[in-house]
Structure 1
């Protein structure tokens, strides 16, 4: 049976390189900004790891790197499973869509920050969605899978609120409980979770297309 990695290995390798460049560039920018603002390296790292964009791009790095460099490891085997590829695809697609709809007008990055912005929010999401369309073509994932995938943004939302309550800084204005109040922040979080589920189910339908032309032995229900 063809695994997702076997069907899209060259593209996965390209995505791994691009994604690592993106997250390392953003790490450099975050630490440089912290230093320029009189903050410590630790504060820069706290800022860096506070963003869903960064965490999800790191997830893409792991999902595309480990199956190629450590295919026999537990995570290497996990990230070639269709359900894992689907989870990562839905998550990084959500990064791109949410940024385009909600955040692209909030700031005007320049120079290296613009490069990092484009890589993290557009290039990596588009490439990984293309990879998923190749890797998961004709694979019928369970309809309940997006519900499990949604635990990731749900946990992130809780993390962002707790982190914000502790350090007084929220990564995104639409979940800034200090400014909006918890009722509105939670409401916004629920809307975003619903949007994530909608996007995940649209991807699920896209992957199921072409099932009739796929070898039955290559169809996997997970």
Structure 2
């Protein structure tokens, strides 16, 4: 089943709102960097190393497609919802204390780390097709995080810079790095299971 076949007008309008918020938050962050004197090319290159930024851009594109009435594979929607949920959880649990922000920085930061993750999960819970996913589809949620880890380790081996302390090859041993990546994979797998379980629960309630 495609997502399009189960989309209502409310689903498309709310998807458009999420797409605009995700894109707007990223653009605001870029604008703040430019106002701080950072050249555009450098700002884009630096921001492209963050899982948060990349995932918000993918979410923006995904929900823009949904808002436009086109079909999206349920597995893709599951994977991206788990990814953006992970962004919010990891940030507030492990990273928020590392940043000191003021003014518009707070708006941009909470846009990508709080508002978009929460709204994406709510949208998934309300509008994702109940019969479009099975427990076996959960494995798809680990593809994007693993690809990101490969990307950032390859990039860091050249630049020497890593965006997150739990994937910093400058300070972590290979064994610890492998443990962290394995833990991250299990974390996203658990999120996928929760999301699929949430849909199946909705399906059972609808059937009663």
TM-score (norm 1): 0.84
**Unpaired segments of 5 or more residues in structure 1?**
216-222
Q: Are 2:184 and 1:192 equivalent residues in the alignment?
A: yes
The answer on whether the counterparts of 2:141 and 2:188 sit within 8 Å (CA) in structure 1 is no
Match of 1:126 among 92, 96, 118: 118
- 1:189 positional shift: 1.5
Q: Are 2:144 and 1:152 equivalent residues in the alignment?
A: yes
- SS in structure 1 at match of 2:161: coil
- 1:4 positional shift: 4.4
- 1:153 positional shift: 0.3
Q: 1:163 to 1:33 in 2, by over 3 A?
A: farther
Tell me the number of residue pairs that the alignment of Structure 1 and Structure 2 aligns: 204
- 1:34 positional shift: 6.2
- SS in structure 2 at match of 1:104: helix
- SS in structure 2 at match of 1:144: helix
Q: Are 2:192 and 1:210 equivalent residues in the alignment?
A: no
Who is 1:17 aligned against? 20
1 CA distance for matches of 2:101 and 2:5?
A: 39
- 1:183 positional shift: 2.3
Q: 1:213 to 1:180 in 2, by over 3 A?
A: closer
Who is 1:220 aligned against? none
- SS in structure 2 at match of 1:50: coil
Who is 2:79 aligned against? 87
Match of 1:201 among 193, 202, 205: 193
2 CA distance for matches of 1:3 and 1:93?
A: 25
